[in-house]
Amino acid sequence: MPKILTFPARAAGPRAPAPRPPVRSMTRLAARLPTGPMALPALLAMTLIAAGCGEKKAEAAKPSAPEVGVVIVATQDAPLALELPGRLSASQVAEIRPQVSGIVQKRLFEEGSTVRAGQALYQLDAATYEAERARAAAALQKAEAQAAVARTRAERDAELLKADALSRQSADDSASALRQAQADVAVARAALDAARVQLERTRIAAPISGRIEVSAVTAGALVTANQTQALTTVQQLDPMHVDIVQSSAEILQLRRQLEGEGPSGKGSRQIRLLLEDGTEFAQPGQLQVSGVTVDRGTGAVTLRAVVPNPGGMLMPGMVVRARLLAGIDRDAVVVPQQGVTRSPTGEATALVVGDGNKAELRRLVLKRALGNQWVVASGLKAGDKLIVEGLQRVRPSQPVTPVPAGSGRKKTADKAGGASAPASPASGSV
């Protein structure tokens, strides 16, 4: 009778992992080793090779400290230069308007040229005013003739009164008539003077020296006395005025600095102008006066500076920036801007190399910008090693390898130069 094979029942639950086959690499290697006197040296060589491979793997697994460029923080005197926006205006402006009515006969100047004070600009038709002057002169002659008659009568009556040949009333009347005739002469003389003034005003002259604008009228135009439209404008462009509008609080601080009451020492009233194209005007100016009233609507005060303009480069209406040296910060901490970053909350931070060559995060308080540098109020001190290169590879508390800033770029340039240099032929080549 055939036997029935039975298998043990499989236990319920998770299946046990199959046993791994034994590692035979070392067995095979041992089987290949020579026997006899050469067995021991071969075994030692294999052991040294295995140990060396393990050390290389450990060194490869260990991360290296990144190289960063640093600068040594130092103190220096930082000039407190303020840049204030301003607008240029002419030192003197004269709008030319006629003082008498008439027809313009001639324009006596070249538009855009320089005129001097008293130079004739326009000639109006003077016929009417010439006739008026002649009438006033004739009236004066008539008054003088009447005054002469009255003087003779008054003198004769005075002699008769002394001889008791004339009553006192008649003598007093003669004296009064003389005084009235003399008054008429004065009135006529004043009328003649007024007619002469009106006649002179038909020749319109420049009240100041300066550059003259284009003419608003031509020959043949009718102009009236004291009209609202100006015929032209004369502006004195040397020197020029710079009007600077600042808040009252800033004006108070600026005055303290200029008077030497602040910690930065006494400032200078000399200014430099930065033009609209970014260039600096060659001639320095001088801060002269300030307004005495604060505007109630804006709370601002107007400062005025005077700038020489011999070449006529500056023009009225130009917007400029006035740079004023208001003082000097003694022993200020000044660092490159590239070493300062902003946190997500807007806080200024910097990384420095601390103890053990580890990156250390510092929170800074900045005063102001000085060119491409920051003036630091707190957070850094002289002697700190500020990281300015390689910031993207560093985190706080991470070990770093500090090198002087710029040395990394120099090495890269040297390598690029060596790679581009042509290879010299090897000496003694076969």
Residues 221 and 150 in one domain: no
Residues 305 and 249 in one domain: yes
User: What was the pLDDT predicted at 40?
Assistant: 55
More confident of the two residues 421 and 211 = 211
Q: Which residues pair with 302 in a beta bridge?
A: 245
Asked which of 53-57, 249-253, 266-270, 388-392 is least confident by mean pLDDT, the reply is: 53-57
**Average per-residue pLDDT for the chain:** 80
More confident of the two residues 4 and 150 = 150
Determine the average pLDDT of the residues in 273-296. Answer: 82
Cα–Cα distance measured from residue 61 to residue 63, given in angstroms and rounded to the nearest whole number:
6
The per-residue pLDDT for range 288-330, each reduced to its tens digit, is 766 667 777 777 888 888 999 988 889 999 999 988 776 677 8
More confident of the two residues 172 and 264 = 172
Q: Which of 40-49, 247-256, 418-427 has the highest mean pLDDT?
A: 247-256
- Whether residue 412 lies inside any domain: the answer is no
Q: Report how many domains make up the chain.
A: 4
Q: Which two tokens stand for residue 411?
A: 């090495």
Residues 341 and 262 in one domain: no
Domain span at 136 = 126-200
Residues 139 and 191 in one domain: yes
More confident of the two residues 417 and 424 = 417
Predicted TM-score of the model (pTM): 0.57
Sign of the CA dihedral running 181, 182, 183, 185: positive
Q: How many CB atoms are located within 10 Å of the residue 205 CB?
A: 16
Determine the average pLDDT of the residues in 384-405. Answer: 91
More confident of the two residues 303 and 47 = 303
Residue 210: give its domain's CATH number.
2.40.50.100
Instruction: Confirm if 239 and 248 have CB atoms less than 8 A apart.
Output: no
Residue 319: give its domain's CATH number.
2.40.30.170
User: What was the pLDDT predicted at 202?
Assistant: 95
Determine the average pLDDT of the residues in 138-163. Answer: 91
Residues 309 and 396 in one domain: no
**At residue 72, does pLDDT exceed 90?**
yes
One-letter-per-residue 3-state SS of the chain: CCCCCCCCCCCCCCCCCCCCCCCCHHHHHHHHCCCHHHHHHHHHHHHHHHHHHHHHHHHHHCCCCCEEEEEECCEEEEEEEEEEEEEEEEEEEEEECCCCCEEEEEECCCCCCEECCCCEEEEECCHHHHHHHHHHHHHHHHHHHHHHHHHHHHHHHHHHHHCCCCCHHHHHHHHHHHHHHHHHHHHHHHHHHHHHHHHHCCEEECCCCEEECCCCCCCCCEECCCCCCCCEEEEEEEEEEEEEEEEHHHHHHHHHHHCCCCCCCCCCCEEEEECCCCCECCCCEEEEEECCCCCCCCCEEEEEEEECCCCCCCCCCCEEEEEEEEEEEEEEEEEEHHHCEECCCCCEEEEEECHHHEEEEEECEEEEEECCEEEEEECCCCCCEEEEECHHHCCCCCECEEEECCHHHHHHHHHHHHHHCCCCCCCCCC
**At residue 332, does pLDDT exceed 80?**
yes
Residues 119 and 105 in one domain: yes
User: What was the pLDDT predicted at 428?
Assistant: 38
Residues 120 and 212 in one domain: yes
